[in-house]
């Protein structure tokens, strides 16, 4: 695990399919960096994406962010869950169902972590275009620490004709360590 004072590079997925989806994502990113515990290093393009797994719901807006943090993985997870709750995310009982804001830890440096309630790398990231395409926008050469392949290679190998990922025409202004 990360030692005190060591900054870790972390990739997160950001998504929403309820309310003002793009605004929810931007506000979630702003909340992430507002306390100074996470520094925003890069943001992908934002995409409109078709739902996966539970498909009887509205399309999502998704992006990926790269941050530097000194937070331990479990503390970062708690921070993300707090932000999601503050943004109105409810536990609706539908796995992969609609949500105001979804923040997932995808990669935490090259670490492989399996503890209760947290698995890194994200256990389904290699199966999801809406995760891999935004990460490729930031850095297509990132190596998945379990699969040993770049995210670009994982994206190329994915046969996901049912997963639509469409770049949004307008991209929002994003926070640089504070509110947007």
Positions marked active-site: 89, 99, 102, 104
159: exposed, middle or buried (C-beta count within 10 Å: 0-12, 13-18, 19+)? exposed
| 46 vs 22: CA distance, rounded Å | 8
Where residue 161 falls (left for φ over 0; alpha for ψ -120 to 50; beta otherwise) is alpha
Phi first, then psi, for residue 33 (nearest 5°) are -95, -10
3-state secondary structure of 11: strand
HSE-CB of 42 using CA atoms within 13 angstroms: 14
- Tokens 């996966």 correspond to 52
* C-alpha of 39 from chain center: 15
């Amino acid at each position: 695990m990360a030692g005190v004072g060591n900054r870790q590079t972390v990739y997160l997925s950001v998504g929403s399919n309820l309310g003002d989806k793009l605004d929810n994502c931007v506000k979630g990113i702003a909340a992430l960096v507002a306390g100074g515990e996470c520094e925003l290093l890069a943001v992908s393009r934002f995409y409109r994406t078709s739902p996966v797994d539970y498909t009887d719901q509205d399309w999502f807006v998704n992006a990926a962010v790269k941050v530097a943090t000194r937070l331990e993985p479990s503390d970062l997870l708690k921070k993300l869950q707090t932000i999601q709750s503050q943004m109105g995310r409810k536990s609706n009982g539908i796995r992969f169902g609609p949500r105001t804001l979804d923040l997932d830890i995808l990669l935490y440096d090259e670490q492989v972590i399996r503890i209760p309630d947290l698995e890194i790398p994200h256990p389904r990231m290699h199966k999801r275009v809406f995760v891999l395409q935004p990460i490729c926008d930031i850095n297509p050469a990132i190596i998945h620490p379990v699969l040993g392949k770049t995210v670009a290679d994982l994206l190329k190998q994915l046969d996901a004709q049912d997963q639509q990922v469409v770049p949004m025409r307008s991209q929002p202004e994003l926070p640089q360590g504070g509110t947007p």
